[in-house]
């Protein structure tokens, strides 16, 4: 039995090897993770929460670099839908990221320097396989549930498709079963911004990162996380700390200043090469393609129950993407609940104060035996 205090951060080196979809073997496998609560003697109360593109394992505890609250502390905590008093909660820093798991910023044992662009390209399914290795290490055989939003939702979908006997329920929020051409296009703009920065140096930037390029990439991506209505409500055409237009290229408008702040704050906590690797993993994600071209095939072998949530102003992963998944689950004969919620905040709604979402997730998880 594992008994860990609330919000315990850990790091483990697993021998591997982990065979990646691209054909490479990764060994050893570094995994950073955080746990909340206590694993029951029968191991039946484990809940895996999967993070999004720029998230990390600091799910409901302060971020060690920024000091900000955990990214999903509105959903995870005492009395909340995912409750450490009942659940043994695990959140894993994904492969390719920069908060302790194997990725381009970890040290290549063959050279003594960071892998940088020598790190193998990874997929969402590779992330899930690494998580399964960690759960084996922790003594977790079957997950009570896997929960995720955005890229975390991709992982939550991939789990029952990859390990059909290891998941009893999956909660998929504001997500998709594959990246569209538009999704890929936005990511490519961000990657090109990073690689066009002279400081990128082919990925070998060490202590002088391509901050300008990564900041622009974050600014472009952040627009896709919001909605036009939300931007209008918050900023409109209001000027930033001035009474008149400056007739130059400073941040005249509040929305410009906001985006610049988002870009600059991002480079303080995230690695540019990791941004390239994780966006590429998301672009490669196509659950139907992994299962003979038919999405329903991904779910035929599992008995898991599914809960899907979308938001009406999310244009990054609009409701139609969730409906595609629901139709596939129906075709596979799986039990699925689905709701579209109203929010002015676009894709980011799942990370913000969303009491209706919490009620939906809470009711679904309480019904999982």
Residues 317 and 237 in one domain: no
Q: Which of 150, 158, 175, 215 is catalytic?
A: 150
- Whether 193 is covered by a domain: the verdict is yes
- Whether 107 is covered by a domain: the verdict is yes
pLDDT for 6 equals 53
- Whether 3 is covered by a domain: the verdict is no
Residues 258 and 311 in one domain: no
Residues 247 and 318 in one domain: no
Residues 193 and 177 in one domain: no
pLDDT tens digits in sequence order for the chain, 369 residues long: 343 445 688 999 999 899 999 999 999 999 999 999 999 999 999 999 999 999 999 999 988 888 888 999 999 999 999 999 999 999 999 999 999 999 999 999 889 999 999 999 999 999 999 999 999 999 999 999 999 999 999 999 999 999 999 999 999 999 999 999 999 999 999 999 999 999 999 999 988 999 999 999 999 999 999 999 888 888 888 888 888 888 988 888 888 998 999 999 999 999 999 999 999 999 999 999 999 999 999 999 999 999 999 999 999 999 999 999 999 999 999 999 999 999 999 999 999 988 999 999 999 999 986
Query: Which CATH number characterizes residue 53's domain?
Result: 3.40.50.1820
Q: Which of 197, 283, 314, 348 is catalytic?
A: 314
Q: Which residues contact 1 (CB under 8 A, 6 or more apart)?
A: 38, 39, 40, 41
> Would you tell me how many other CB atoms lie within 10 Å of the CB of residue 53?
20
Active site residue 42: no
Q: Are 113 and 107 in contact (CB under 8 A)?
A: yes
- Whether 139 is covered by a domain: the verdict is yes
- Whether 51 is covered by a domain: the verdict is yes
Q: Which of 101, 158, 347, 348 is catalytic?
A: 347
Selection from 80, 72, 76 nearest residue 89 by Cα: 76
Residues 273 and 292 in one domain: no
Residues 206 and 247 in one domain: yes
Residues 189 and 227 in one domain: yes
Residues 187 and 171 in one domain: no
- Whether 1 is covered by a domain: the verdict is no
What the block records as the tokens of 75 is: 């959903």
Residues 238 and 308 in one domain: no
Selection from 139, 149, 137 nearest residue 81 by Cα: 149
Q: Where are the beta strands (DSSP E) in the chain?
A: 8-14, 18-19, 25-26, 29-36, 46-50, 88-92, 107-108, 113-114, 145-149, 169-173, 305-311, 336-341
* Of the residues 279, 298, 320, the one at which a domain ends: 279
Give the three-class secondary structure for 184: helix
Task: Provide long-range contacts, Cβ within 8 A and 24+ apart, for 339-342.
Answer: 339/308, 339/309, 339/310, 340/309, 340/310, 340/311, 340/312, 341/309, 341/310, 341/311, 341/312, 342/311, 342/312, 342/313
Full domain range(s) for residue 25: 8-182+286-366
Q: How many domains does the chain have?
A: 2
- Whether 2 is covered by a domain: the verdict is no
* Of the residues 215, 247, 279, the one at which a domain ends: 279
* Of the residues 245, 260, 279, the one at which a domain ends: 279
> Would you tell me how many other CB atoms lie within 10 Å of the CB of residue 199?
14
Selection from 20, 32, 29 nearest residue 122 by Cα: 20
Residues 12 and 69 in one domain: yes
* Residues facing residue 239 across a β-bridge: 253
Residues 271 and 290 in one domain: no
Q: What is the CA radius of gyration of the chain?
A: 20
Query: Can you tell me the distance from the alpha carbon of 283 to that of 182, in angstroms, rounded to the nearest whole number?
Result: 10
Q: Are 68 and 269 in contact (CB under 8 A)?
A: no
Active site residue 150: yes
Query: Can you tell me the distance from the alpha carbon of 244 to that of 246, in angstroms, rounded to the nearest whole number?
Result: 6
DSSP H or E segment with residue 281:
helix 272-284
């Amino acid at each position: 039995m594992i008994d860990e205090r609330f919000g315990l951060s850990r790091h483990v080196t697993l021998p591997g090897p982990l065979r990646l979809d691209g054909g490479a073997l990764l060994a050893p496998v570094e995994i950073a993770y955080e746990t909340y609560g206590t694993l029951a003697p029968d191991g039946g109360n484990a809940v895996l929460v999967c993070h999004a593109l720029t998230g990390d394992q600091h799910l409901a505890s302060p971020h060690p670099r920024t000091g900000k609250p955990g990214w999903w502390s509105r959903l995870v905590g005492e009395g909340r839908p995912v409750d450490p008093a009942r659940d043994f909660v695990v959140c894993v820093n994904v492969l390719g990221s920069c908060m302790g798991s194997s990725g381009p910023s970890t040290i290549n044992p063959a050279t003594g320097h960071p892998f940088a662009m020598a790190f193998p390209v990874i997929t969402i399914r590779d992330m899930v396989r690494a998580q399964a290795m960690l759960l084996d290490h922790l003594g977790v055989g079957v997950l009570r549930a896997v929960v995720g939003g955005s890229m975390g939702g991709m992982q939550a979908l991939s789990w029952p498709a990859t390990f059909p006997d290891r998941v009893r329920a999956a909660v998929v929020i504001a997500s998709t079963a594959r990246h569209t051409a538009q999704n890929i296009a936005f990511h490519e703009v961000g990657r090109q911004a990073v690689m066009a920065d002279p400081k990128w140096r082919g990925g070998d930037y060490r202590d002088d990162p391509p901050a300008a390029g990564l900041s622009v990439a974050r600014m472009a991506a952040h627009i896709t996380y919001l909605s036009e209505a939300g931007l209008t409500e918050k900023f409109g055409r209001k000027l930033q700390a001035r009474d008149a237009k400056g007739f130059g290229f400073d941040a005249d408008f509040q929305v410009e200043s906001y985006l610049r702040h988002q870009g600059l704050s991002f480079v303080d906590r995230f690695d540019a090469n990791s941004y390239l690797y994780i966006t590429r993993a998301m672009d490669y994600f196509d659950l139907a393609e992994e299962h003979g071209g038919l999405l329903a095939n991904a779910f035929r072998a599992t008995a898991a129950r599914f809960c899907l949530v979308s938001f009406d102003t999310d244009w990054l992963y609009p409701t139609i993407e969730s409906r595609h998944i629901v139709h596939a689950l129906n075709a596979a004969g799986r039990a699925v609940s689905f709701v579209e919620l109203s929010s002015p905040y676009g894709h980011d709604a799942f990370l913000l104060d969303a009491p209706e979402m919490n009620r939906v997730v809470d009711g679904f998880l309480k019904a999982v035996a």
